[in-house]
Amino acid sequence: MVEYTGQARDTGLRIKTELASRPTPSAMATPAILLRDVNLFYGANQALYDISMDIGERMVTAFIGPSGCGKSTLLRCLNRMNDLIDNVKITGKVEVNTLDIYGPKTDVIEVRRKVGMVFQKSNPFPKSIYENVVYGLRIAGINDKATLDEVCERSLRGAALWDEVKDRLDQSGLSLSGGQMQRLCIARAIANEPDIILMDEPCSALDPIATVKIEELIYALKEKYTIVIVTHNLQQAARVSDMTAFFWLGRLVEYGQTSDLFTKPKEKHTEDYITGRFG
Amino acid sequence: MRLGTLVRRGDPFVWLAGSGLGISLLMILGLLGVILVNGLGFFWPKPLLQLTLKDGVVLLGEPVTREVIPTPGVVDAPEQFRLQLKLGNRDLFGADFRWVDEAEITGRERPRDAFYFERREYGPLIGTPVRLTRGGDALATGPDAVWAALAPLIEQAEVDRAAIRTIERDEIGAINFAIERARLDMRAIDLRERQRPEQRLDAERAALDQEVVRQKALYDERQRALEALYERAAQTYLTVRASDGQEKEIRTLDIFRAYPANQLSWAEKAGVYASRIWEFVSGDPRESNTEGGIFPAIFGTVMMVVLMSLVAVPFGVLAALYLREYAKQGTLVRLVRIAVNNLAGVPSIVFGVFGLGFFVYFVGGTIDRAFFPESLPTPTYGTGGILWASLTLALLTVPVVIVASEEALAAVPRSMREASLAMGATKFQTILRVVLPAAAPGIMTGLILAMARGAGEVAPLMITGVVKLAADLPLDGIFPFFHLDRKFMHLGFHIYDVGFQSPNVEAAKPMVYSTTILLLGIVVALNITAIVIRNRLRRKYQTGAF
C-alpha cells in the first residue's frame, strides 16, 4: 500500500503529460471541466489525492473503479454536493467552463443549475410528472404556463419519455416504473438546460432493458451535453463512454480514451481491475 | 419436560401477550358500554308507575333503579328491595326523587292519563292534565281533550320562545352592548381630558350622549315589543293534578315537551327520544345545567381546540424545522430536545398556573392598561377567557407537535433533499417545496395527538377561562364577531360541574354520562377528520419508490 503511494503520484504526473501530448478530440482544447490537484478530506480522512484531469466537452466520460475508490466523491465535487456534508475540506481547483466553482464569489446555486445531476437511486419528488419536470423552473421563479408546458414537453422528449407519459402528466412521478423514473430524473435535469450532466451509477437499480434505454439516451444526449458517468458496470463504461478514468484508493490511476484503456491499459492495476482480478 | 418444551417455544408468552390485549380491550369496551348505556338510555321515555303505599299515599313517577336494602349486622336476613322513583314536581313536593320500600307497596298500576311535562323551571311535572284555560275561559277539560288542544300550543310555545330569545338576547343584547360601548367611550374621553385639560371634547361627548339617547329609544321600543309578545304568548294556562291531588297551573309558554308516557307506541317513543337528543345537542342548558342542552359547551370545546391548533401547529412546526434542519446538531440541541420531551410530561395544572400568571394577569393586564383603560377596574383581557385558555393549551401541546414534526422531518429521505438541491434550489426552497409536503402526514399525526390531548384537558382551563354557564358564545353576530376575551363552557368541565357541583345530583347523573358520550364523540370526530386529511396527504406525497 505504502509502496503504491509513490507510484500513483508518478502515474498522475505521467497521465497529465500524456494527455497534453496525445492527439485528443478537438474539444479537449477547451475542456468543459478542469481539475487541478484536487484533494478532499472527510475530517481527518483523505478521500481524494491530487486529482488533476480535463474532461472534454460534449463527450461521455466514465469514472470506474472499485467501491470506495472516490469516484462518486469526485463526481459530487463537480456540482458542490459535497458542501452538504459536515467537515468536508477541498483543496485544489475545479473549473467548469472556465468558472472556478469553489471561488469565493461563486454562487453555488448557479453552479448546480449549470451542472445537473442524476442519482443512483431515482428520486422523483412526490409530485406529478409535470411538476417534477418543471421543478427547476418553478424554483427559479418561472410560472408562465406556456413556458412551463413547452419546457416540459421538450425535456420529456429529450429524455425519451414523452410518448410514454404524455397522456398522464398529472399522475404522480412515483407511479412510473424504475426505468421511467430514472428517465424522468434525467428530464428534470435537462429542463434546467445545464452544460454538464453528472450521473452517479444511473442504471445500477434497473433491469437490462431499462438499462439499454438509458444508455441509448446517454448516447443521444452527448450531442448537446457533456456527460460524466460513474459506473460499476465495465461493459457499460465501454459501451457508452468516449473517455474513461480509473480510480483506486482515492487516486486517479489511469485516464484515457475508452478504447485504449480497455484494450491496452498502461497500468498493471487497471489491467487487473478490468480483467476482473480484483474489485 | 413437556412444560420445558412449551416454555422454550414461547407458548406461555403468547398467552400472556394475548391476555394483555384481551384485558385492554375488555376495559375499553366496558368503559364505552357503561357510558353508552347510561348516557343514551336516559333520553328514552320510560313508562310512569303509580304506587299505592300501605299508609294510603299515592306516588306517580318514573322508576329509576331497584336495589337491595342493606341490612348491616343482621345475618341471614331475607332480601328486601327498594325502588327509586323520579317523582318530579319539585315545586310541590320539595324533592324530585324518592326511595320506596317494596314491602310498603300495596298497589302498582300504569295510569293511562299520566303525563310527563318538561318545563322551564323546577324540573319535570308529572301528573294528569285537568284543563286548559285562556284568560279565564276553559278551552278544554279532561285529559284527552287537553292533550289534543295542547300539542299545537306547545309547538307555538317553541316559536314564541325563539322570538322572545331573539329580542332578548340578540336585539336587546346588541343595544346593551352599544350602550356599554358608549359609556366606556365617555370614560375614555374623561381620561383623555384629565391628562390634557386644555383640550375640549364637548362635541364628542355630545355625539355620545345622542348615541345613548338613540339606543335607549331603541331599547324602549324593543322592550315594548317584548312585553307585547309576552302578553300574547302567555295567555294559555294548563292545570295539572299531581298524584297527591294538588293542582298546579303553568303557562303553556313554559312547557318544552309533554307526552302521555303510558300511551306511547314504540314509534312515538322513538320520536320523543330523537327530539330529546336533538335538544341535548343543540339547546341551551336549563336548571343549572341539569336539563336542556349543552350546545354552548360543545361550541366552546370545538372552538378552543381549533384556536389551540391554530397556535400550536405553526409554532411547533417552526421549532421542529429549526431543530432538525438549521440548528447545528450538538449538546445544546440535544438538551433542548430533552427539555421539550420533558415539557410534554409536565402535569397540566402546572401549565394552568403558568397561564393564569403569565397570560391572564401579565399579558392580559398589560393589554387592559394599554388599550382598555376606560373599563378598569373591570378587566377585559385581564381575566380568564377563551384566548388565554387556548394559548395555555397550545403551550401544553406544542411539545407533542414538535416531537412528531421532528420525526416526520427526519423521515424525509436524504435523496429527495439532494435531488432538490442538485436542481439549484436553496435550502429554504427545498424545505418549502419538498421536505414540508413530504413531512405533512407526520405533522398531521402530531396535530392529532395534540388535539386528543388538548380536548380532554380540564384542569388548566378551570383557572384560565372556563365557567359553569356562559351567557354568550365567544362567536356571535355582534362586531367584531370573535370575542376572544369571553369566558366559555367546555364539555370536560361541564362533566365535572354537573356531576359534582350540581345542586340536584340525582337529576344530573344521567347528564354526566350523556355529556361524556358527547365529549368522546367530539374527540373522535376531530381525530377522524385529521386522520382523513393525513391519509389524503399520505397518498398525495407518498415517498420511497423502492
Give B-chain residues touching A139 at CB under 8 angstroms.
Answer: 420, 423-426, 429, 433
* Nearest Cα to Cα of residue B337 among B403, B398, B397, B401: B403
Nearest residue to B423 (alpha-carbon basis) of A108, A161, A178, A122 = A108
What dihedral do alpha carbons B209, B213, B214, B219 form, nearest 10°?
140
- Domain count within chain B: 1
Task: Report how far residue B107's alpha carbon sits from residue B34's, in angstroms, rounded to the nearest whole number.
Answer: 33
Q: Mean pLDDT of all residues in chain A?
A: 84
Q: How many CA atoms lie within 13 A of B191 on its CB side?
A: 14
DSSP string spanning B175-224? HHHHHHHHHHHHHHHHHHHHHSTTS--HHHHHHHHHHHHHHHHHHHHHHH
Which cell is B229 given? Answer: 309578545
Measured in angstroms, the CA of A109 and the nearest CA of chain B are apart by 5
- Cβ-nearest to B422 among A110, A112, A125: A112
Interface test with B, best of A133, A138, A139 (most B CBs within 10 A): A139
Cα A42 from Cα A44, distance rounded (Å): 6
Collect all residues with Cβ–Cβ distance below 8 Å to B107 and sequence separation of at least 6.
B50, B51, B52
Who's near A77: CB < 8 A, 6+ residues apart?
Answer: A35, A38, A40, A48, A90, A94
Residues B387 and B395 sit within 8 Å (Cβ to Cβ): no
Are A126 and B437 an interchain contact pair (Cβ–Cβ within 8 Å)?
yes
pLDDT in tens, A136-145: 999 888 888 9
Task: Give residues with Cβ within 8 angstroms of B390, minimum separation 6.
Answer: B304, B307, B308, B311
Asked if B545 has any chain A CB less than 8 Å from its own CB, the reply is yes
Enclosing H/E stretch for B490 = none
In a domain, B59, yes or no: no
* Number of Cβ pairs < 8 A linking chain A and chain B: 77
Is pLDDT at A6 greater than 50 in this prediction? no
Give, as one character, the DSSP assignment of residue B457: -
Separation in Å, CA of A128 to nearest CA in chain B = 9
Residue B129's DSSP bridge partners are B240
Minimum CA–CA partner of A189 in chain B: B423
With H, G, I as helix, E, B as strand and everything else as coil, classify residue B285.
Answer: strand
At B542 the pLDDT is 64
**A37-48 pLDDT, tens digit each:** 999 999 889 999
A139 and B429: CB-CB below 8 Å? yes
Task: Retrieve residue B316's grid coordinates.
Answer: 411547533
The nearest alpha carbon in chain A to B537 belongs to: A126
Which residues between 402 and 441 in chain B have a beta carbon less than 8 angstroms from any beta carbon of chain A? 413, 415-416, 418-426, 429, 433-434, 437-438
Give backbone dihedrals phi and psi of B452, rounded to 5 degrees, phi first.
Answer: -60, -40
Q: What is the pLDDT of residue B145?
A: 87
Task: Identify residue B322 by its one-letter amino acid code.
Answer: Y
Interchain contact, B423 vs A138, CB within 8 Å: no
Chain A partners within 8 Å of B419 (Cβ): 119, 123-125, 185, 188
pLDDT recorded at residue A23:
37
**Cα separation of B525 and B452, whole Å?**
10
Chain B residue numbers with beta carbons less than 8 Å from the beta carbon of A140 are 424
Cell of B513: 354520562
Contacts of A188 in chain B (CB under 8 A): 419, 423
Residue B333's domain spans which residues?
295-405+440-540
- Which positions in chain B touch A117 (Cβ < 8 Å)? 422
| Confidence band, pLDDT 50/70/90 cuts, at residue A197 | very high
Between CA B43 and CA B409 the distance in angstroms is: 48
Asked whether residue A136 is domain-assigned, the answer is no
Please give the angle made by the CA atoms of B49, B52 and B56, to the nearest 5 degrees: 150
Q: What is the CATH number of the domain that holds A237?
A: 3.40.50.300
Q: What percent of chain A has pLDDT over 70?
A: 89
- Contacts for B104 with CB less than 8 Å, ≥ 6 apart: B53, B54, B55
Q: Is residue A268 part of a domain?
A: yes
Contact B545, A124 (CB under 8 A): yes
Give A279's pLDDT tier (boundaries 50, 70, 90). low
Range of the domain at A113: 2-123+195-274
**Rounded to an integer, what distance in angstroms lies between the CA atom of residue B450 and that of residue B448?**
5
B23 part of a folded domain: no
Q: Which residue of B has its CA nearest to A170?
A: B540
In a domain, B234, yes or no: no
Q: Give the CA count within 13 Å in the CB-facing half-sphere of B99.
A: 9
Cβ of A181 within 8 Å of Cβ of B545? The answer is yes
Chain A residues lying within 8 Å of B420, measured CB to CB: 125, 135, 139
**Chain B residues inside the 8 Å CB shell of A172:** 540, 542
Is 50 exceeded by the pLDDT of residue A26?
A: no
Residues of A in contact with B418 (CB under 8 A): 81, 84, 119, 123
- On whether residue B344 sits in a domain, the answer given is yes
Looking at the complex, report in whole angstroms how far the Cα of residue A25 sits from the nearest Cα belonging to chain B: 29
> Rounded to 5 degrees, what are φ and ψ at A156?
-65, -40
- Say yes or no to pLDDT of A230 above 90: yes
In a domain, A21, yes or no: yes
Contact indicator for B296, B518 with CB cutoff of 8 Å:
no
Nearest CB partner across the interface for B546, out of A79, A84, A205: A205
Q: How far apart are CA A138 and CA B293, in angstroms?
A: 53
Residues of B in contact with A124 (CB under 8 A): 419, 545
> Which residues have a Cβ under 8 Å from the Cβ of B544 and sit 6 or more positions away?
B413
Q: Is B120 left (phi over 0), alpha (psi -120 to 50) or beta?
A: alpha
Residue B231 CB burial class (10 angstroms; 0-12, 13-18, ≥19):
exposed
Nearest chain A residue to B435 by CA: give it.
A125
State the total domains in chain A.
1
User: With an 8 Å Cβ cutoff, are B423 and A110 in contact?
Assistant: no
Q: What distance lies between CA A255 and its chain's CA centroid? A: 15
For B337-446, strand residue ranges (E) read none
Q: Give the closest of B415, B424, B437 to A139, CB-based.
A: B424
Of the listed ranges A24-33, A117-126, A265-274, the least confidently predicted one is: A24-33
Query: Looking at the domain assignment, is residue B418 inside a domain?
Result: no
- Cα–Cα distance, A209 to A153 (Å, whole number): 24
Determine, for residues B543 and A122 on separate chains, whether the beta-carbon distance falls below 8 Å: no
Residue of chain B nearest A80, judged by CA positions: B422
B541–A119 C-beta distance less than 8 A: no
Does residue B529 form part of some domain?
Answer: yes
In this structure, is residue A264 part of a structural domain? yes
Question: Is B525 inside a domain boundary?
Answer: yes
Write the residue in B416, B424, B546 that is nearest to A125 by C-beta.
B416
In sequence order, which residues have a C-beta less than 8 Å from that of residue A88 and are 6 or more positions away? A40, A41, A42, A82
CA distance A171 to chain B (A): 10
What lies within 8 Å, CB to CB, of B157 at 6+ separation is B233, B252, B253, B254, B255, B256
d(CA B162, CA B182): 29
Please tell me the predicted confidence (pLDDT) of residue B274: 92
Among all residues of chain A, which has the CA nearest to that of B538?
A: A126
What are the residues whose beta carbons fall under 8 Å from the beta carbon of B79, sequence distance 6 or more? Answer: B68
Beta carbons of B388 and B364 less than 8 angstroms apart: yes
A5 pLDDT more than 50: no
Q: Is the peptide bond before B124 cis (omega within 30 degrees of 0)?
A: no
Please write the tens of the pLDDT for every residue from B389-445.
Answer: 999 999 999 999 999 999 999 888 888 888 999 988 888 999 999 899 888 888 888
Q: Which of B502, B498, B532, B534 is nearest to B518 (CA)?
A: B498
Q: What is the ipTM of this complex?
A: 0.83
- Residue A6 is assigned to a structural domain of this protein: yes
Among the residue ranges A55-59, A197-201, B377-381, the one predicted with the least confidence is: B377-381
Residue whose cell numbers read 445500477: A204
CA of B318 vs chain A CAs: smallest distance (Å): 21
Yes or no, beta carbons of B545 and A174 under 8 Å apart: yes
Residues in chain A with CB shorter than 8 Å from the CB of B429 are 139
In a domain, A235, yes or no: yes
| CB contact at 8 A, B85 and B61 | yes
The domain spanning residue B307 has which CATH number?
Answer: 1.10.3720.10
Share of chain A above pLDDT 90, in %: 24
pLDDT at site A161: 87
Chain A residues near any Cβ of chain B (below 8 Å): 79, 81, 84, 109-110, 112-113, 116-117, 119, 121-127, 135-136, 138-140, 172, 174, 178, 181, 185, 188-189, 192, 205
Evaluate whether residue A147 is within a structural domain: no
Out of B418, B424, B542, closest to residue A126 by CB: B542
Q: Per-residue pLDDT for chain B (546 aa), expressed as one digit of tens each?
A: 677 887 888 888 899 999 999 999 999 999 999 988 888 888 888 889 898 888 888 889 988 888 888 877 777 777 888 888 888 888 888 888 888 888 888 888 888 888 999 888 888 889 898 888 887 788 888 888 888 888 888 888 888 888 888 888 888 888 888 888 888 888 888 887 777 777 777 777 888 888 888 888 888 888 888 888 888 888 888 888 888 888 888 888 888 888 898 888 999 999 999 999 998 888 888 877 777 888 888 888 888 999 999 999 999 999 999 998 888 888 999 999 999 988 888 888 999 999 999 988 898 888 888 887 777 777 778 788 889 999 999 999 999 999 999 999 988 888 888 899 998 888 899 999 989 988 888 888 888 888 888 888 888 988 888 888 877 777 776 677 777 778 888 888 888 888 888 777 777 888 888 888 888 888 888 888 888 888 888 877 665 433
In the block, residue with C-alpha cell 355630545: B206
